[in-house]
Amino acid sequence: MASLFLLPPTALPLSAKGGPGPAATDATLEQGLARLGYPGLAYRKMPGERRIPGELLLTSLSSDNLDPCLAEGLPWLLLRFEGLNSEDLVARAKSSDL
């Protein structure tokens, strides 16, 4: 929906569930960052649905063994997408013990 109306990924709210959801694989997180435009993974970008930056961040933080290349992209998410509700992200991270 956001792509159809040319809205930024931050226009969509985080899902209503409290936690980050099931753990994602590194490949899923890699594609999430690439589709959002992370320069370090631009060469890996494949067509598909863009993820909400806040949910991608929480999912990445919940990963037990996150690839260091993907961890480098997490600060970029916070800097690139100014519309993120940082208070809500911190509250969700704390509630999930991230």
**Can you give the pLDDT at residue 33?**
92
Residue ranges for the chain with pLDDT beneath 70 = 1-24
For 41, the token pair is 């993974």
**Can you give the pLDDT at residue 72?**
92
Q: Residue 58: which residues within 8 A CB-CB, separation 6 or more? A: 14, 19, 20, 89, 92, 93, 96, 98
**Can you give the pLDDT at residue 22?**
54
